[in-house]
Structure 1
Amino acid sequence: MSSRRPFTVHALRRRIALGLPAAWALGTTAARAAAPRALTVAAFPAIDQIVRGAVPAWRELHPDVELKVVSRRASDHHVAMTTALSSQSNLPDLFALEADYVGRFSLGSGLEDLRRAPFNIEALRQRFVPYAYQQATNPRGEVVAVPTDVGPGTLLYRSDLLQRAGLVEADLVRSWDGFVEAGRRIKASTGAVLLAHARDMKDILIRAGVTPGDGIYFGRGNTVRVNSPHYARAFELARAVRKAKLDANIGSWSSDWTEGFRRGGIATQMMGAWLAGHLNNWLAPGTRGLWRAAQLPEGAYAAYGGTFFALPRAADPAGKALAWELATLLTTDRRLQLAAFQQHDAFPAAVDTYGDPFFEQPIPFLGGQPARTVWREAARRITAPTVHKQDRFAEEVINTELDKVLLRGKDIPTALGDAERLLKQRALR
Structure 2
Amino acid sequence: MVFVMAASLLLGGSTELMAEDVTTITVAAFPDQDSGFEAILDDFHEKHPHIRVELEVADFDDHHQTLLTRIAAGSNVPDVANVEIAFVGDFVNRGGFENLTAEPYNAGRFEEDIIGYKWAQGTNDDTGNLIAMPLDISPGTMFYRRDRLDELGVDIEDLNTMEDWIEVGEEFAAEGDKWLFADAASVYEMIRRSGDHQFFDDEGEPIITSDKFVRAFEMAKEVRDRGLDGQIGEWSNEWFTTFQEGTALVHTSGAWLGGHIQNWMAPETAGKWGVSNLPDDMYINWGGSFLAIPEDAENKAEAWEFIEYVTTNVEPQIAQFEAANIFPALLEAFDHEIFEEPSEFYGGQNVRELWLDAAMQIPEVNTNRYDNIAEDIVGDALTEVLENDKDIMQALEDAEQLLRRRMR
TM-score, length-scaled by structure 1: 0.85
Partner of 1:390: 370
Superposition deviation, residue 167 in structure 1: 1.6
Q: In structure 2, give the amino acid aligned to 1:72.
A: A
Q: Is the 8 A contact 1:171 1:179 kept in 2?
A: no
CA distance in 2, matches of 1:398, 1:124: 36
Please tell me whether residue 371 in structure 1 is matched to residue 351 in structure 2: yes
Q: In structure 2, give the amino acid aligned to 1:410.
A: K
Superposition deviation, residue 44 in structure 1: 3.2
CA distance in 1, matches of 2:352, 2:165: 23
Partner of 1:198: 184
CA distance in 2, matches of 1:242, 1:324: 48
- Correspondence 1:23-62 to 2 at 5 A: 37-62=23-48
2:73 to 87, 98, 107: 87
CA distance in 1, matches of 2:31, 2:177: 36
Please tell me whether residue 113 in structure 1 is matched to residue 99 in structure 2: yes
Q: Is the 8 A contact 2:91 2:369 kept in 1?
A: no
1:404 to 361, 369, 384: 384
Please tell me whether residue 77 in structure 1 is matched to residue 57 in structure 2: no
1:147 to 121, 134, 137: 134
Deviations 1:107-146 (A, max 9, x none): 2111112222222222101211222222212332332111
Of stretches 46-55 and 78-87 in structure 1, the one that deviates more from structure 2 is: 46-55
Partner of 1:421: 401
> Cα distance 1:386–1:184, how it changes in 2: closer, same or farther (>3 A)?
same
CA distance in 2, matches of 1:248, 1:138: 40
Deviations 1:294-317 (A, max 9, x none): 11001101111112211001223x
Gap runs ≥5 in structure 2: 1-12, 14-20
Structure 1 runs, 4 residues or longer, greater than 6 Å off: none
> Cα distance 1:399–1:51, how it changes in 2: closer, same or farther (>3 A)?
closer
Q: In structure 2, give the amino acid aligned to 1:364.
A: E
Q: In structure 2, give the amino acid aligned to 1:77.
A: H
Deviations 1:263-300 (A, max 9, x none): 11100000011111211121112221111001100110
Q: Is the 8 A contact 2:136 2:328 kept in 1?
A: yes
- Correspondence 1:269-288 to 2 at 5 A: 269-288=251-270
Q: In structure 2, give the amino acid aligned to 1:398.
A: V
Partner of 1:184: 170
CA distance in 2, matches of 1:37, 1:286: 42
User: SS of 2:332's equivalent?
Assistant: helix
> Cα distance 1:73–1:189, how it changes in 2: closer, same or farther (>3 A)?
closer
1:63 to 38, 41, 49: 49
Q: In structure 2, give the amino acid aligned to 1:96.
A: N
Q: Is the 8 A contact 1:139 1:387 kept in 2?
A: no
Q: Is the 8 A contact 2:185 2:220 kept in 1?
A: yes
- Correspondence 1:220-231 to 2 at 5 A: 220-231=202-213
CA distance in 2, matches of 1:162, 1:397: 36
Q: Is the 8 A contact 1:197 1:248 kept in 2?
A: yes
CA distance in 2, matches of 1:227, 1:65: 50
2:145 to 158, 174, 184: 158
Of stretches 379-388 and 366-375 in structure 1, the one that deviates more from structure 2 is: 379-388
Partner of 1:24: none
Partner of 2:109: 123
Q: In structure 1, give the amino acid aligned to 2:339.
A: F
Of stretches 73-82 and 264-273 in structure 1, the one that deviates more from structure 2 is: 73-82
CA distance in 1, matches of 2:41, 2:266: 32
Deviations 1:339-387 (A, max 9, x none): 1112232211111111111112111111110100111111122124322
Partner of 1:19: none
CA distance in 2, matches of 1:395, 1:70: 27
- Correspondence 1:5-20 to 2 at 5 A: none
CA distance in 2, matches of 1:42, 1:382: 28
> Cα distance 1:75–1:217, how it changes in 2: closer, same or farther (>3 A)?
closer
> Cα distance 1:218–1:57, how it changes in 2: closer, same or farther (>3 A)?
same
Q: In structure 1, give the amino acid aligned to 2:144.
A: Y
Of stretches 49-58 and 380-389 in structure 1, the one that deviates more from structure 2 is: 49-58
Partner of 1:262: 244
Q: In structure 1, give the amino acid aligned to 2:155.
A: V
Deviations 1:29-51 (A, max 9, x none): xxxxxx97333322234434444
CA distance in 1, matches of 2:338, 2:39: 19
Q: Percent identity?
A: 35
User: SS of 1:143's equivalent?
Assistant: coil
CA distance in 2, matches of 1:355, 1:330: 17
Q: In structure 2, give the amino acid aligned to 1:326.
A: F
CA distance in 2, matches of 1:406, 1:53: 42
RMSD (Å) for aligned C-alpha atoms: 2.3
Of stretches 366-375 and 109-118 in structure 1, the one that deviates more from structure 2 is: 109-118
Superposition deviation, residue 179 in structure 1: 2.1
Q: Which has the larger radius of gyration?
A: 1
Q: In structure 2, give the amino acid aligned to 1:405.
A: V
